[in-house]
Chain A
């Protein structure tokens, strides 16, 4: 399965839509908050987690087929979020993705703004969507790093190369509690010294083009 930006865009759209309703809902949330503030802390915490799980289940039903690998991933986890609620993990994902430009990958492909704000989000259905956005971003960035962002044979008939893109199920299977995300992403892009040298040349030429050039052209008549 090939990841693309469509799901992230769809999730973003509904996320922004909800964003506009946040203010009007704020008063209602305050009333609810006051009502429940009489309950014990543990009960609130438990119900928050339950709310998030049921929101995640609802979002999955809204955005994915029942046999989609992401749905299966969350069913196996009993709808327990992987990213939301683990601020360090979420920030680690955002940090890794923010380095996309070092590889010549466009930041605009990934929901970085949403991910960096996710730790402040309290509304369960919003948090559920952010959870799915984070998973989609993880998959997309993983496939981009390992197999590129273009479909080569769509560019030109003579480019008949089929990239080895990482399998979505395999990628989701690697989302374990002790996953070192930084290391994981490092192992996805080409491991050859040539790729690393090319990254260095990319950085060097960027600096040259930003800070000047190679000076005057050599006149066209031969030396």
Chain B
């Protein structure tokens, strides 16, 4: 394939240090395709060799912006200047990726979905204490009244179709919603709790991983697996959805069960909400790093999805920092 923009792409990649030859050629050949895929991988894009809008945006980021990103991430690294120990879970939000290290080895990793820009996942450190298999989802009030109440009012079968029930606050009493005039409620006077019972379509999937914190953020499975194939994965209300939750459960249980997979599957098959306490507390780091290095020492850049790089840079400038 040839294209008039290919020489621009070749020149820019070459200047950035990628192995590109014949910079004036209009040919998009296999060698160029390899460099493009590498560029995409190092910038958090699906490495498909298709140089679309996101790839062009990423390659056109000026070096000064990258310099500012590095400056901000140096400050972030100093904030987290501590030994993480030999066992911990780390989520890097702009990379939409999580991993679990045990005995200094990466024993699990997964793509993740994080919060929407309007429902950002916070940066914090905590400790994981337990997991819940076949979890019930207690729908937060904001989601119940803002998102579900209009759906319940327009579709009488909405609750049943989604394995949801209405409950009186502070009790275990389930309300028969067919006996209630749902049109009488507004977001201000809706008096019920909505619970989604354990099932395959539960928003939390089949397992959630708990590290109790003031942000009510946890990690969980999800029925919406297709979202993991998007480049930018900001779709949740703040919680962290995992592409590979079962493998995570097995690796967490490895130190306390002889057959972790079997144990997990047995609990899962009961189809009842079940707590499994971890035999030790596992540190969890929910981080935000837009520049980082992989295990081969290769630098990776990611988009500032929540605009926090900009906020930190502004604060650094106010403190007297200059990139030159």
Contacts and interface: CB of A to CB of B under 8 A. Distances in A.
Interface string A100-112: 0001111011000
A152 interface: yes
B149 to A, nearest CB: 27
B62 interface: yes
Interface string A140-164: 0000111111101011111111011
B70 A150 contact: no
A76 to B, nearest CB: 28
Contacts of A202: 67, 70-71, 74
Nearest to B3: A223
A210 B75 contact: no
Interface residues of A, number: 51
A221 interface: yes
Interface in A99-153: 103-106, 108-109, 144-150, 152
Given A159-B288, A197-B299, A214 B62 contact: yes
Interface string B202-217: 0000000000000100
A103 B73 CA distance: 11
Interface string A183-223: 00000011011110111011001101110011111111111
Given A158-B120, A164-B81, A197-B293, A215 B315 contact: no
B55 to A, nearest CB: 8
Contact of A205 (B60, B63, B77): B63
Contacts of B322: 106
Interface string B1-36: 001011011011001100000000000100000000
B73 A209 contact: no
B75 A104 contact: yes
Contacts of B311: 155-156, 159
Interface in B33-77: 50-53, 56, 59-60, 62-64, 66-67, 70-71, 73-77
Given A148-B78, A158-B122, A195-B74, A201 B291 contact: yes
A222 B71 contact: no
Nearest to B57: A220
Nearest to B78: A148
Interface in B202-246: 215
A210 B324 contact: yes
Contact of B28 (A145, A152, A223): A223
A205 B5 contact: no
Interface string B291-323: 111000101000000101001100110011111
Contacts of B9: 218, 223
Given A104-B75, A198-B77, A202-B67, A160 B15 contact: no
Q: Considering residues A145, A156, A216, which has the most beta carbons from chain B within 10 angstroms of its beta carbon?
A: A156
Q: Considering residues B15, B78, B81, which has the most beta carbons from chain A within 10 angstroms of its beta carbon?
A: B78
Contacts of B76: 148, 161
Contacts of A158: 120-123, 306, 308
B70 A208 contact: no
B270 interface: no
Contact of B78 (A147, A216, A220): A147
B79 A216 contact: no
A155 B320 CA distance: 15
A158 B308 CA distance: 9
Contacts of A194: 77, 292-293
Contacts of B124: 160-161
A159 B12 contact: no
B256 interface: no
Given A150-B319, A202-B67, A222-B52, 4 more contacts: A109-B320, A147-B81, A194-B77, A202-B71
Interface of A: 103-106, 108-109, 144-150, 152, 154-161, 163-164, 189-190, 192-195, 197-199, 201-202, 205-206, 208-210, 213-223
The 10 closest A-B pairs by CB, nearest first: A106-B320, A148-B78, A205-B67, A223-B51, A160-B124, A108-B320, A163-B79, A214-B15, A104-B71, A158-B122
Interface of B: 3, 5-6, 8-9, 11-12, 15-16, 28, 50-53, 56, 59-60, 62-64, 66-67, 70-71, 73-82, 120-125, 215, 288, 291-293, 297, 299, 306, 308, 311-312, 315-316, 319-324
15 contacts: A104-B70, A106-B322, A147-B81, A150-B315, A195-B74, A198-B70, A198-B74, A198-B291, A201-B299, A202-B67, A202-B71, A205-B63, A205-B64, A213-B62, A220-B53
